Chain A
Amino acid sequence: MKLITFIILVALVTVVNAQETPIKKDSSVTVLDEVILIAVRKKKIETEMKMAVSVDEFLASSDNISFIKRGAYAWEPLLNNMSTERSTITIDGMHIFGACTDKMDPVTSYVESNNLSEIDITSGQEGSMHGATVAGSIDLKRKSTAFGLSKKWSGAYQTGFEFNNNQYFNLGNISYSSDKLVAEGSISYRKAENYYDGENNEVNHSQYDKFNTSVGIAYKTSPLSSIKVDAIFDKAKDVGFPALPMDLSLSRALITSAAYKQFFENKLIKVWDTKIYFNAVEHYMDDTTRPENLVHMDMPGWSTTYGLVSKINLKKENYASEIQLNAYDNLSIAEMRMYPQDRSERTMFAYSWPWVTTRYAGLSVNNSWDISKKSLLNFGGTFGVNYNYSKYVDFNWIFNPGASQKKTRFLPNLYTSYQLNIADFNFSVGGGYGHRAPSVSEGYGYYIYNSFDRYDYIGNPDLKNEISYEANASAGFKNNKGSIQAKINYFYIQNYIIGRILSLGSPMNYQSVGVKGYTSLDYASLFNFSLNTKYTIFKKLHWKGMLTYARGLDDNKNNLPFIRPLSYQTSLHYSFKNLGLFTSLNGDLKQINYSPEYGEDETPSYTNWNISADYTFYINNYRTVLQVGAENLFNEFYSTYADWGNIPRMGRNVFTSIKINF
């Protein structure tokens, strides 16, 4: 491990050194600029409602993302109503794995809105480009500044205050662009206290404190090639999780990469992009803040990943292809150390992740063929090899005697889709087939306490691959007044992995009621539907509506947990000169199809009404936007179907923010 760290360190220093090499200034730089500019899509991490959103809030505006919330921070994104084990979450294609056994640190908690440019959400097997998946992929795209911009220096500063939880934040980012060199950096700090629910009760242990910074330096090594080094450092401390019996005292992540990009002129190959990366995450839970706990347990976790992504883009006439090689090595460690009432007494110790190594290598091909002007065929797939090794396999043998210490799995993923555009109408149909390997917790977890159903979870190294058969379709209509788009997808998942009560063993965690082992159901099925509409009522007044519905059933036709009930969102946006007004209504209907077996109870319906207003003006030619708004204006007391332990959500929250672009 030390050796690999050293090699990467050397590599990075070399890359940094390489920039000192004097290279003759070349004037024919246009080719590279153009290509790079295509990649820089001007999409910002903000919603119409709120310009200073957290990454979680931004993701929540997507129709196929929902969240499990354990507090005000680090929400776990569910894609197509499936938990994070079933999706791949990457940052610029880099794999990162949270270090918390209780999923208190999804990858999305280690970035900040001001170092991202956009978030790519791909549903189902089309998302297997970055690794084996069932639900799809979420790729968080880092900001990337183009070479040779006319404006050498640019940046933005944003500050704001939210009244409900006394959250204040300061976000700043700056970039420098010249013909040869690009440098960019961002820094942010958010601090929030406990929030108040709709009945104006303080929700204890919901505070957080997050610091995030990033740097990126790119250098053009020739007219057609460039190198880039990137780093993100994120630190959260004193984060409360009101739905859990413990909090986070400190989590830190360092995410680094070095990339080389080569463009080709007049060739079949257009771009070759290769990146090596390293990231380390540490996560320390703390329950000494909870006096009600008679026993204290320290649960530190570490996750270290090394990886490589190499991608080439091919294009010839009406055919485009992307070939990507993905490889990574992850080591996940999590410990439990319990202290009886008397701290001086002997402690108890066990691993909840007994030093589990995961290695994955996969080759993906993504093809896009324009059959005619009206129709397009996408097809592709991935062949991956997944290897797991549990160092302290003794822990796994307690519940699974004789289980394999090493396990190699082959993970094929395939998909195809056909798109047809006829006049203002568009249609698509597609299908997919794919395997995924069990996650570290599902395979090797040991007494991982789940405070939702209050069971301790035990992994099983010999679980079968989860196999997904997927079908999807969409239909839409679009003209210059508005659009309507309906999407459905259906997943039939064989060997669906879920926790089942074990008759053997007894719980360990203080609040626990029993032990569940991860087992495979014969199958489960999931259905997702979404309807999106947009309509321009008149030039300055836009209406948007969204409706989603999902249903998930196990092999006994019982409900799966965390399936979103019928939900809706409707919003109006009005702009007049420099003023923008926005109002939205969103909510879920009553959760009828809940799953008592997995700890769910019926969640009543709720509706939130939100408003905001923004005003754009100029200070010394710097474009400045001031925004004031309120979420949950009626101060509704509610919790959603996926709120861990039915913790109440935030009540009325008045927010203000100001953003200066320079």
Chain B
Amino acid sequence: MKTLHFIVIVLFVVATSCTIDKTDFEAEISVETTEYVDFKEAASVTTGNYTISIEALNGTFYKGYNEIHLKIFNKQTGENLEDLEVNFLPILTDTNGNKVSCPHKYNLDYDTSEGYYLGYSVFTSESDASANWKLYINFIDNNQTHSVNQIISVEKQTNMNLNMTSFTGNNNEQYFIALISPQKPRVAENELVAGIYKYNQPTNVGGVFPDPSQFSYSIVQGHTLLLDPRMPEPSMGNHSSPNNKNLTQQSDSLYYGVVNYTMTGNWTLNFIFQNQDGQVIKGTEVPTDFTPGIEGAKSELYIDILF
């Protein structure tokens, strides 16, 4: 009987123990993507009685799209200053002293329910020894303008799902496309959110630096971003997915579409950027054939992602 016990138990151990472990799917997806949901202070600057705190996801500015939460605190009165006029301007200075900016929201709106000034900045490059980013912030309190600036550090974007691209369109305008969501895609239907911006060429000679008219960007209105996601690896043979939807602008000015990822791995989002009249500003159609062993061709406008 002892032996029988033993056999029964051994058989069960054999049955419940597998030779190859099942994949932990949640962990699998987390390997390449990190999802940040908490806003933390990324920079702070003090002028007189005022402390200005700038918050970003994970307390870090990354290359690409950054939502900015800005708070102004009066140390003397101990209160947060609400509904002020606040201007926000990021400037990149290279070793030659050339100054450029990036898509950003210049006039920050106060969000009463959340208690901060809401803005965004699409940093186009990382900070390094040859180039630094500086934030120029103005605000008017009690009819007095306060101006501060602060050097910040823009880190490398580690999550490829928040990549961005900048390009010159067929109309010689300069455009920027930055992915905003999903941070952590799933093998599923994902809502794809992007911001699309353009640089406004200054029409007049610049005044005193920093003159916002020289660093003007705007949200592109009413265009369409045609989407064709594909897996570029030769082994994947130009694999694509069904039921994707092109990105169109919604009420919050961002562009929304749907991307389906059929499996984890490297994906390329191939785009064709069209204006209101359907004219192509940038992008080419990619072949749709299944071509195993050949690296998939990309549109001239694309963003690579990985998850």
Minimal beta-carbon separation of B268 from chain A (angstroms): 14
Q: Mark A499-524, 1 if CB is under 8 A from B, else 0.
A: 00010111110111110000000000
Q: Does B234 contact A (CB under 8 A)?
A: yes
- For A256, list chain B residues within 8 Å (CB): 11, 15
Q: Does B45 contact A (CB under 8 A)?
A: no
Task: Please tell me which one of the listed residues B4, B12, B263 contacts residue A349 in the complex, with CB atoms under 8 A apart.
Answer: B263
- Given A9-B8, A341-B234, A398-B260 in contact, is the A294-B293 Cβ separation under 8 Å? yes
Minimal beta-carbon separation of B148 from chain A (angstroms): 44
Q: Does B23 contact A (CB under 8 A)?
A: yes
11 pairs of residues in contact across A and B, judged by CB atoms under 8 Å: A231-B11, A254-B15, A256-B15, A302-B18, A346-B266, A348-B231, A349-B25, A395-B187, A506-B240, A506-B288, A511-B292
Minimal beta-carbon separation of A458 from chain B (angstroms): 9
Overall SS of chain A's interface: mixed
Q: Does A13 contact B (CB under 8 A)?
A: yes
Q: Mark A192-229, 1 if CB is under 8 A from B, else 0.
A: 00000000000000000000000101000000000001
Q: Does B237 contact A (CB under 8 A)?
A: yes
- For B18, list chain A residues within 8 Å (CB): 282, 302
Task: Please tell me which one of the listed residues B20, B240, B265 contacts residue A505 in the complex, with CB atoms under 8 A apart.
Answer: B240
Q: Does A397 contact B (CB under 8 A)?
A: yes
CA distance A151 to B234 in the complex (A): 67
Q: Does B208 contact A (CB under 8 A)?
A: no
- Given A333-B22, A350-B187 in contact, is the A513-B290 Cβ separation under 8 Å? yes
Q: Is B20 within 8 A of A284, CB to CB?
A: yes
- For A282, list chain B residues within 8 Å (CB): 18-20
Q: Is B265 within 8 A of A335, CB to CB?
A: no
Minimal beta-carbon separation of B273 from chain A (angstroms): 23
- Given A302-B22, A348-B265, A398-B189 in contact, is the A510-B235 Cβ separation under 8 Å? yes
Q: Mark B1-16, 1 if CB is under 8 A from A, else 0.
A: 1001101110110111
Question: Using a Cβ–Cβ cut-off of 8 Å, how many residues does chain B contribute to the interface with A?
Answer: 47
Q: Is A397 within 8 A of B188, CB to CB?
A: yes
CA distance A103 to B105 in the complex (A): 58
- For A339, list chain B residues within 8 Å (CB): 235
- Given A217-B4, A346-B306 in contact, is the A394-B187 Cβ separation under 8 Å? yes
Q: Mark A321-355, 1 if CB is under 8 A from B, else 0.
A: 00000000000010111111100011111110000
CA distance A546 to B12 in the complex (A): 45
Q: Is B236 within 8 A of A508, CB to CB?
A: yes
Q: Is B11 within 8 A of A504, CB to CB?
A: no
Which 3 A-B pairs give the minimum distances between C-beta atoms?
Answer: A394-B188, A504-B242, A348-B265
Minimal beta-carbon separation of A217 from chain B (angstroms): 7
- For A506, list chain B residues within 8 Å (CB): 238-241, 288, 290
Q: Is A447 within 8 A of B262, CB to CB?
A: yes
- For A560, list chain B residues within 8 Å (CB): none
Task: Please tell me which one of the listed residues A13, A252, A340, A349 contacts residue B23 in the complex, with CB atoms under 8 A apart.
Answer: A349
Q: Is A510 within 8 A of B237, CB to CB?
A: yes
Q: Does A595 contact B (CB under 8 A)?
A: no
Task: Please tell me which one of the listed residues A250, A350, A502, A507 contacts residue B290 in the complex, with CB atoms under 8 A apart.
Answer: A507
- For B4, list chain A residues within 8 Å (CB): 16, 217
CA distance A513 to B266 in the complex (A): 21
Minimal beta-carbon separation of A405 from chain B (angstroms): 12
Which one of A12, A17, A333 has the greatest number of beta carbons of chain B within 10 Å?
A12
Q: Does A29 contact B (CB under 8 A)?
A: no
Q: Is B263 within 8 A of A16, CB to CB?
A: no
Which one of B19, B239, B262 has the greatest number of beta carbons of chain A within 10 Å?
B262
Q: Does A495 contact B (CB under 8 A)?
A: no
Q: Is A505 within 8 A of B241, CB to CB?
A: yes
Q: Is A347 within 8 A of B265, CB to CB?
A: yes
Q: Is B242 within 8 A of A502, CB to CB?
A: yes
- For B211, list chain A residues within 8 Å (CB): none
Q: Does B186 contact A (CB under 8 A)?
A: yes
Q: Mark A232-252, 1 if CB is under 8 A from B, else 0.
A: 010000000000000000101
Q: Does B28 contact A (CB under 8 A)?
A: yes
CA distance A335 to B18 in the complex (A): 14
Q: Does A387 contact B (CB under 8 A)?
A: no
Minimal beta-carbon separation of A9 from chain B (angstroms): 5
Kindly count the residue-residue contacts between A and B in the assembled complex, taking CB atoms under 8 Å apart: 145
CA distance A642 to B266 in the complex (A): 38
Q: Does B243 contact A (CB under 8 A)?
A: yes
Minimal beta-carbon separation of B200 from chain A (angstroms): 39
- For B155, list chain A residues within 8 Å (CB): none
- For B292, list chain A residues within 8 Å (CB): 294-295, 510-511
Q: Is A19 within 8 A of B1, CB to CB?
A: yes
Q: Does A399 contact B (CB under 8 A)?
A: yes
- For A336, list chain B residues within 8 Å (CB): 263
Q: Is A350 within 8 A of B186, CB to CB?
A: no
CA distance A397 to B238 in the complex (A): 21
Q: Does A317 contact B (CB under 8 A)?
A: no
- For B19, list chain A residues within 8 Å (CB): 250, 252, 282, 284
Q: Does B165 contact A (CB under 8 A)?
A: no
Q: Is A505 within 8 A of B234, CB to CB?
A: no
CA distance A447 to B22 in the complex (A): 19
- For B231, list chain A residues within 8 Å (CB): 348
- For A399, list chain B residues within 8 Å (CB): 242-243
Q: Does B109 contact A (CB under 8 A)?
A: no
Q: Restricting to B84-122, which residues have a CB under 8 Å from any CB of A?
A: none
Q: Restricting to A249-269, which residues have a CB under 8 Å from any CB of B?
A: 250, 252, 254, 256
Minimal beta-carbon separation of B79 from chain A (angstroms): 47
Q: Is A508 within 8 A of B242, CB to CB?
A: no
CA distance A237 to B20 in the complex (A): 14
Q: Does B264 contact A (CB under 8 A)?
A: yes
CA distance A261 to B28 in the complex (A): 48
Q: Is A20 within 8 A of B288, CB to CB?
A: no
Q: Mark B239-271, 1 if CB is under 8 A from A, else 0.
A: 111110000000000000000111111100000
Q: Is A394 within 8 A of B189, CB to CB?
A: yes
- Given A250-B19, A294-B235, A348-B265 in contact, is the A401-B243 Cβ separation under 8 Å? yes
Given contacts A398-B262, A506-B240, 15 further A-B contacts (CB under 8 A): A9-B12, A16-B8, A20-B1, A215-B7, A231-B8, A256-B11, A294-B235, A340-B233, A348-B265, A350-B263, A350-B264, A395-B187, A447-B263, A506-B288, A510-B237
- For A100, list chain B residues within 8 Å (CB): none
Q: Does A392 contact B (CB under 8 A)?
A: yes
Q: Does A71 contact B (CB under 8 A)?
A: no
- For B12, list chain A residues within 8 Å (CB): 5, 9, 12
Q: Does A160 contact B (CB under 8 A)?
A: no
- For A502, list chain B residues within 8 Å (CB): 242
Q: Is A392 within 8 A of B265, CB to CB?
A: no
Q: Is A300 within 8 A of B1, CB to CB?
A: no
Specify the chain B residue showing the minimal Cβ separation from A2.
B16
- For A252, list chain B residues within 8 Å (CB): 14, 19
Task: Please tell me which one of the listed residues B7, B239, B293, B306 contacts residue A507 in the complex, with CB atoms under 8 A apart.
Answer: B239
Which one of B7, B14, B233, B235 has the greatest number of beta carbons of chain A within 10 Å?
B235
CA distance A111 to B231 in the complex (A): 42
CA distance A19 to B19 in the complex (A): 33
Q: Does A276 contact B (CB under 8 A)?
A: no
Q: Mark A267-283, 1 if CB is under 8 A from B, else 0.
A: 00000000000101010
Q: Is A351 within 8 A of B25, CB to CB?
A: yes
- Given A337-B23, A341-B234 in contact, is the A508-B239 Cβ separation under 8 Å? yes
Q: Is A12 within 8 A of B8, CB to CB?
A: yes
- For B243, list chain A residues within 8 Å (CB): 398-399, 401, 504
Minimal beta-carbon separation of A474 from chain B (angstroms): 43
CA distance A435 to B44 in the complex (A): 69
Specify the chain B residue showing the minimal Cβ separation from A512.
B290
- For A395, list chain B residues within 8 Å (CB): 187-188
Minimal beta-carbon separation of B7 from chain A (angstroms): 7
CA distance A496 to B20 in the complex (A): 36
Q: Restricting to B185-207, which residues have a CB under 8 Å from any CB of A?
A: 186-189
CA distance A550 to B30 in the complex (A): 53
Specify the chain A residue showing the minimal Cβ separation from B186.
A394
CA distance A19 to B3 in the complex (A): 13
Minimal beta-carbon separation of A333 from chain B (angstroms): 6
